[in-house]
Chain A
């Protein structure tokens, strides 16, 4: 039953993404300044929003693990972090490709891009750290503390374009920023589609982590024989 629900949600996410791709490519007008390349924003921004929700989930799960000591929270934290790393990677890669056209460079060490790269390194480091600790309780505890520490970078990433003068554009969705309502609607339509996909991937990854725990138990059992 749960697998069928997962397949249904995955299919719905795929359909929404294809529908949004049709809107982005064939219905939206071109940007007067940037031409066609501005369409990257419809994947770049929702990917970062999705990554933001994933790291927030990882933070809540990590705090909950430290309070409850229940490994289910650790499972949620690692699954959310892995999903976050995927979407942060998409955010960084698509942003870099857009920057190559808009700025003439692939990368610059401004506050937004640097803090975003640090964010990727921190959460990728979290995943690497977990592979180095064998004891499940110690792994969960140390990872939870690390995840809480890593989240400290998120406000810096979010507000860097307001706190510092950056190459990255100023906010267009909040503050004094402006975006055409039709384009804004397309951007906000892609976010739930990516969130739904992320939720499916999260559920699959959590199931996998539970299977991995069973595998660890069987390995210990096999060694003791």
Chain B
């Protein structure tokens, strides 16, 4: 492979992959938080309903 600009090619390709990976991780973390919050609130509402 021609070595001209190879360093910047690496930066370009890595940034594309990293941005996609970062977004995927954000989605996973967000989903987990939402489900934890739903679970907590459901328990809270059910507890108060029982009382």
Task: Indicate whether A90 sits within 8 Å of B16 (C-beta atoms), given known contacts A97-B11, A100-B8.
Answer: yes
Residue A43 at the chain B interface, CB threshold 8 Å: yes
Q: Is B2 touching A36 in the complex (CB atoms < 8 A)?
A: yes
Q: Interface size (B, Cβ < 8 Å)?
A: 29
Q: How large is the interface on A (under 10, 10 to 19, 20 to 34, 35 or more residues)?
A: 35 or more
- CB of A90 within 8 A of CB of B15, answer yes
Interface residues of A in 182-225 (CB under 8 A from B): 197, 201, 204-205, 207-208, 211-212, 214-215, 218-219, 221-222, 225
Number of A-B contacts (CB under 8 A): 97
Task: For B30, list chain A residues within 8 Å (CB).
Answer: 208
Q: A86-B23, A201-B23 in contact; A39/B34 too (CB < 8 A)?
A: no
Asked whether any CB of chain B lies closer than 8 Å to the CB of A34, the reply is yes
- Which chain B residues lie closer than 8 Å to A205 at the CB level? 27
Instruction: Say whether A215 contacts B4, CB under 8 Å.
Output: no
For B10, give the chain A residue with the smallest CB separation. Answer: A36
Knowing A35-B5, A208-B27 touch, does A40 contact B41 (C-beta < 8 A)? no
- Complex A-B, nearest 10 residue pairs according to Cβ-Cβ distance, in ascending order: A35-B4, A37-B5, A40-B12, A30-B2, A218-B41, A35-B2, A43-B16, A97-B12, A36-B6, A101-B5
Partner-A contacts on B (CB < 8 A): 1-6, 8-9, 11-13, 15-16, 19-20, 23-24, 27, 30-31, 34-35, 37-38, 41-42, 44-45, 48
* Interface positions of A (Cβ within 8 A of B): 21, 25, 30-31, 34-40, 43-44, 47, 86, 89-90, 93-94, 97-98, 100-101, 197, 201, 204-205, 207-208, 211-212, 214-215, 218-219, 221-222, 225
